[in-house]
Amino acid sequence: RQLIQTKLADASVSLIETERAINKVIVTLHTAKPGMVIGKSGANVDALRAELNKLTGKQVHINIVEIKKPDLDAHLVGEGIAKQLEARIAFRRAQKQAIQRAMRAGAKGIKTQVSGRLNGADIARAEGYSEGTVPLHTLRADIDYAWEEADTTYGKLGVKVWIYRGEVLPTKKSVKGEK
């Protein structure tokens, strides 16, 4: 997982799933930019597969799943805010722009928080913004949460993102013998 994250840092990889069998490993990469992961005629994937084969000593299969709406993925939104903070963009502007993009993409609600030495202040603090509803206590709410770290000249800043996509309705269990 760490090897993949370092190799594909710019490829907007949100989720890395690994399934292990006795002599093979299936790796599923959820990414917003599948072209960057695959490379020209599959060169990047082949190089990554060879490196993982060498590391694990097992047969590695790599599946790539495209994320249709990257603005509704908390990990990618947090990564975007962190990159902006590292590029010395004002933390308020970075948060508000991310919130606007997510709401335009169809989120029911979004909440962001940036904490640390904001603007190089001597005393660390946390500032957050939210729009729409983010029902954290509702169990059936489909909330995507992620945190990222931004390395700035003043130290690390933490970025947290909660995105509410709607409710997941529980499916009714059918009881045998009922009509």
Distance CA 133, CA 136 (A): 9
* Element holding 20 (H helix, E strand): strand 13-20
**Which single residue is written with the structure tokens 């904490």?**
115
Would you put residue 20 in left (φ > 0), alpha (ψ -120 to 50) or beta? beta
- Domains along the chain with CATH numbers: 2-66 (3.30.300.20), 70-167 (3.30.1140.32)
pLDDT tens for 105-142 read: 999 999 999 999 999 899 999 999 999 999 999 999 99
Q: To the nearest whole percent, how much of the chain has pLDDT over 90?
A: 51
Q: Please tell me the predicted confidence (pLDDT) of residue 40.
A: 83
**pLDDT tens digits, 40-82:** 888 888 888 888 888 888 888 888 898 899 899 999 999 999 9
Residue 100 has pLDDT above 90, yes or no: yes
Q: Considering just the CA atoms, what is the radius of gyration of the chain in Å?
A: 20
pTM: 0.84
